[in-house]
Amino acid sequence: MRHLLSRDIKWSLFMILTIIATSSQPLLSSEYTILEVYRDGYVKVTMVIPVGDQTVLNVTLMGTPSYLLVLDEKGLPLEYNISSGVISILCIDTPRVTLTYYTPNLTEKHEGLWNLTVNMKLLNVTVILPEDSILMACRPLPWKVKAENNTLVLVYTRTPLSLEYVILPMPETGRSEGAEAPQGKEEAPVEVITNEGKREGGQDTLLLAAGLSMASMAIVVLAYKLKRRKYMEFLTEEEKTILDAIRARGGQAYLTEIVKAVNLPKTTVWRRIRKLEEFNIVRTVRTRRGLLVRIK
């Protein structure tokens, strides 16, 4: 009976502290965050967060969580409460918390082109794209890019960030019928930059670091070239109509002319032109008459 009473008191105090802490909305300062993107658009979010002198740690979730796991430094589960997209974690005798969950809300797919957007302000974020992905655009540019086991890894010192990528079809494995499906593969260590400047899981020498830097530059250049070569696969019907309207006027046209020709709202046309410009398909020039759009 005494045990049940102490547990009820503990939970009541936790709820009171949650309400007080949520109202103050402290800024989140994570040691590092790993976003592992899967082919179906789900993202595994792993956050390691220092507790400091807080009793209740509030963390804004990046979408609807599935398979949520909250652990202390020893790997033991912690009590938590979720309200309005914020998880409040009861932290006692632990210097840091590891938060892991899966969410489909960070990505969206449109005609074969995937977009990953992180609007939350974080430090030291590592993004692991699915296998056989081709990076089409990234804003801002990552601090570091490297390739590991047919995956592209991008390291950011801070967010927000936005990535556009495509996933190549999976090759036929040729596995005979009735053979047991693989249960998973051993993950290669991913280098993570922490607030203290330490590198976890990385054993790179200076020579390897230089090689990865050269590989990163090659990947970015390759992605830039692939934008122009394969852009037709990922254009919407509206974007194709806009390009047809520009071609009909000799390869260049003013924004006002394009709006009249395609019969779309000006804001919609402007967004599509911006995307075409990011794909290195068109170039915009501001003139006295207005915005001139030219096909490259």
**Quick check: 185 pLDDT over 50?**
no
The answer to whether position 288 is within a domain reads yes
- 246 in the same domain as 144: no
The answer to whether position 153 is within a domain reads yes
Q: Name residues whose C-beta falls within 8 Å of residue 174's C-beta, 6 or more positions apart in sequence.
A: none
The answer to whether position 42 is within a domain reads no
CB 37 within 8 A of CB 1: no
Q: Which pTM was predicted?
A: 0.55
CA distance 187 to 194: 20
- 250 in the same domain as 134: no
**Quick check: 248 pLDDT over 60?**
yes
- 210 in the same domain as 248: no
- 247 in the same domain as 204: no
**Quick check: 27 pLDDT over 50?**
no
The answer to whether position 1 is within a domain reads no
The answer to whether position 4 is within a domain reads no
pLDDT of the residue at 170: 66
Q: How many structural domains comprise the chain?
A: 2
- 130 in the same domain as 200: yes
The answer to whether position 58 is within a domain reads no
Percent of the chain with pLDDT over 70: 68
The residue type of 99 is L
- 208 in the same domain as 135: yes
- 160 in the same domain as 131: yes
For residue 268, the domain's CATH number is: 1.10.10.10
- 114 in the same domain as 219: yes
- 240 in the same domain as 163: no
The answer to whether position 67 is within a domain reads no
- 208 in the same domain as 137: yes
Provide mean pLDDT across the span 29-54.
90
The answer to whether position 27 is within a domain reads no
- 215 in the same domain as 153: yes
Domain span at residue 114 reads 106-168+190-230
Residue 37's pLDDT band (boundaries 50, 70, 90)? very high
**Residue whose C-alpha is closest to residue 112's, from 252, 233, 261, 280:** 233
What is the token pair recorded at 99? 């938060």
Percent of the chain with pLDDT over 90: 37
CA dihedral over 38, 60, 117, 138, signed as positive or negative? negative
pLDDT of the residue at 274: 83
- 222 in the same domain as 127: yes
CA distance 198 to 217: 24
